[in-house]
Amino acid sequence: MTHENGGSPAPEKKIWMTLTGLPLTFRLDWPFHKSTSGADFWVLHGDIRLENSADLHAPVAVNLSATVREVMPSLEPKDAEAPVINALRKEVDRRQIEFLKSGKLLPVAFSSRHYDFRRAKWVFGKATDEVIAEFLERKVYWQTRLTAEKRVRIADPAEAQYLETTASHLLEVAARLVAAEGLIRIEAEWAEATPSLMSQADRFESAMRQATDELEKKHAFERG
């Protein structure tokens, strides 16, 4: 399987990082279907898996509002996958999604709060360069650590949308990591982890444990 932009194969297993440091994979059961409850929205079922964990996952039902449906070019994966995944990642960032070994189906609103109608663009929260740099380090580390892939795409439009920046700016920040710390090597829009990056496993796994613990504490408190 090759990437739509060519150059390198697309990974069989793509790791999607959250800003809090959690490596996730998504299974989305396309296509969207009209709600059978009579409500005016479309539904897409899926499952979010917390990688590097003991089979923790979260089954979700993404409920797309009619308002947002109007601004979508289509409900096909080529148009809808990135904003759906980014909306779900943002819910994980906000600690609204709980990962369990046998979780119950969680409805997640995919609504106008993720879309700026005035600027006609998706908005998931603008990240600073410092946050982007940390995100890219984690992305390259976990994609390398959890899959057989050696090259990780940096100029990914879906990631640019999630961080509210551009693919070219992601490359600029990645280039600074190369110059300042030598943690990655870059060729075109792809990065490869150096031994220096992979030797920092404690840092990345500590961030994941902390984020997981905070999620568990929040949901345990809510359950009373």
Q: Work out the mean pLDDT of the chain and round it to a whole number.
A: 91
Q: Provide the pLDDT for residue 1.
A: 34
Q: Provide the pLDDT for residue 221.
A: 67
Q: How many residues does the chain have?
A: 224
Q: What average pLDDT does range 42-51 have in this prediction?
A: 97
State which H helix or E strand residue 138 sits in. helix 129-146
The closest alpha carbon to 162, from 58, 49, 17, belongs to 17
State which H helix or E strand residue 206 sits in. helix 201-223
The closest alpha carbon to 164, from 133, 129, 134, 123, belongs to 123
State which H helix or E strand residue 210 sits in. helix 201-223
Q: What average pLDDT does range 69-97 have in this prediction?
A: 95
Contact 152/192 with Cβ under 8 angstroms? yes
Q: Indicate whether 185 pLDDT > 50.
A: yes
Q: What average pLDDT does range 149-170 have in this prediction?
A: 95
Say how far apart CA 206 and CA 172 lie, in whole Å. Answer: 27
The closest alpha carbon to 66, from 44, 82, 42, belongs to 42
pTM for the whole structure: 0.89
Q: What average pLDDT does range 41-45 have in this prediction?
A: 95
Contact 166/121 with Cβ under 8 angstroms? no
Q: What average pLDDT does range 40-65 have in this prediction?
A: 95
Strands 57-65 and 106-110 turn out to be parallel
State which H helix or E strand residue 80 sits in. helix 77-93
Say how far apart CA 26 and CA 59 lie, in whole Å. Answer: 10
Q: Provide the pLDDT for residue 86.
A: 97
Q: Indicate whether 72 pLDDT > 60.
A: yes
Comparing 44 with 221, the larger pLDDT belongs to: 44
Q: What average pLDDT does range 16-29 have in this prediction?
A: 97
* Residue corresponding to tokens 């979700």: 60
CATH architecture of 129-202: Orthogonal Bundle (1.10)
Instruction: Sketch the domain layout of the chain as residue ranges.
Output: 16-121, 129-202
Cβ-in-10-Å burial (0-12, 13-18, 19+) of 195 comes to exposed
Q: Provide the pLDDT for residue 7.
A: 55
Rg (CA), the chain: 18
Q: How confident is the model at residue 5 (pLDDT cuts 50, 70, 90)?
A: very low
Contact 88/62 with Cβ under 8 angstroms? yes
Cβ-in-10-Å burial (0-12, 13-18, 19+) of 194 comes to middle
